[in-house]
A and B are shown apart, each in its own frame.
Chain A
Amino acid sequence: MATATATAPPTSSTTALPQMKKENEKVDYFNLPCPIPYEEIHREAFMSLKPELFEGMRFDFTRGLNQSVFMGPMEIPSQSSETIKIPTAHYEFGANFIDPKLMLFGRIMTDGRLNARVKCDLTDNLSFKGNAQLTNEPHMSHGMAYFDYKGKDYRSQFQLGNGALLGANYIQSVTPNLSFGGEVFWAGQHRKSGIGYAARYNTDKMVATGQVASTGLVALSYVQKISEKVSLASDLMYNYMSKEATASFGYDYILRQCRLRGKIDSNGCASAFLEERLNMGLNFILSAELDHRKKDYKFGFGLTVGE
């Protein structure tokens, strides 16, 4: 029910457009490519600008079973501007099951957190994704279920979560390069609802995306692929409610032996993430983050075996 009402306005507006244009243009609007999922419209910018930065030491072993050891300080969220860090260490054990139709992932950590993910293709077009996190702290466990429907030139998704969380989104290709999408959500526990729109324009040289939501969030991103190896990315996040804006600029360099990602943002924060391939299936990771304003410097190194 929610999907039908939610997706109705963007559907009608976006599908009407290609039919009108169809007569006087050569582009075959009946064979538009399928857009990428609504949640992943910032995918390229995220890949370049948001690497998994960490502080301390980590060791990941992924060969059949998934094992990960992490040692290092962990930040405790606090109201004051000073960051409080406590040294922690944890071990994570995981198991994967991968089949063309069904994928299961499970992770358990020494502090009692359990993470489970399911991805299952019910039919050719309909797929189900599940995500659950269980902790020993009360009210911190949560679960989400996603039902994806992939059409010929559109995608829609229905979300269901605990805490009476309902959501739906829809994305439609308008031209071979341009796609528009919209979403609605309702969080019953917090009595909040919202609506959002997104647009994405991608060619093989660049990707530009924009997203607006009624929560006050405006996110714009732009990725320029300079060559096969190099891409430059920038993004701008603006929150209308708190009147805060952050912009960041980053590069993503993929060489034969390594992948290097660097970023600098308007909060005075510079970071770099280097993945060096030492051997087949053996990666060395270096991570650095400098927050000049908070005087918070984070450095990490790690090793990944497998993949």
Chain B
Amino acid sequence: MASSQGKKRVTQGKESEQSLISRASRTRNPWRHFFYNLVLGMASSQGKKRVTQGKESEQSLISRASRNVSQSSIVIHAKRAASEAAVVSKKLLRSTGKAAWIAGTTFLILAVPLIIEMDRDQQLTEIELQNASLLGTTPTPK
């Protein structure tokens, strides 16, 4: 990336150089040509270069630092561990969900009606007992 950008900048600089040279040659004045050359050299090589160099070094520093950090073995290990943990936890969550669904529905089918019916039966027996104690009649079996 950095090298291609640099190349682009160089080609741009060449274009402007050529245009300046052509203008200077059109004037046909050697002094002026020299002056233009000087100005061109000053402006293009120093000023622009300084600015671009600053940017490049900054970018390269950040990128190098980040590359150093991202390519370090700890980070790679951590990343791998994190992704594995995510996969495992997802699987675990899904399987526990499935197990909970199976257990819950089975319980709902097998145990809940039994509990409800036993409770109803209990209530019936209590009512019969109450009636028997109040009215003095013997509770009818079944």
Contact = CB atoms under 8 A, between A and B. Distances in A.
A256 B105 CA distance: 27
Interface stretch (A29-37, A101-109, A269-277): A269-277
Contacts of A260: 113-114, 117
B109 A253 contact: no
B109 A270 contact: yes
B109 A262 contact: yes
A292 B120 contact: no
Q: Is the interface of A mostly helix, strand, loop or mixed?
A: strand
Contacts of A256: 121, 124, 142
Contacts of B121: 255-257
B46 to A, nearest CB: 76
A290 B105 CA distance: 8
A288 B112 CA distance: 12
Interface string A246-274: 00000101011110101010001011101
Contact of B109 (A251, A255, A257, A290): A290
A55 to B, nearest CB: 14
Contacts of A264: 106, 110
Interface string B90-109: 00000000000010011001
Interface residues of A, number: 18
Given A257-B124, A290-B105, A274 B113 contact: yes
B142 A272 contact: no
B106 A290 contact: yes
Nearest to B128: A256
Interface of A: 251, 253, 255-258, 260, 262, 264, 268, 270-272, 274, 286, 288, 290, 292
Interface of B: 102, 105-106, 109-110, 113-114, 117-118, 120-121, 124, 142
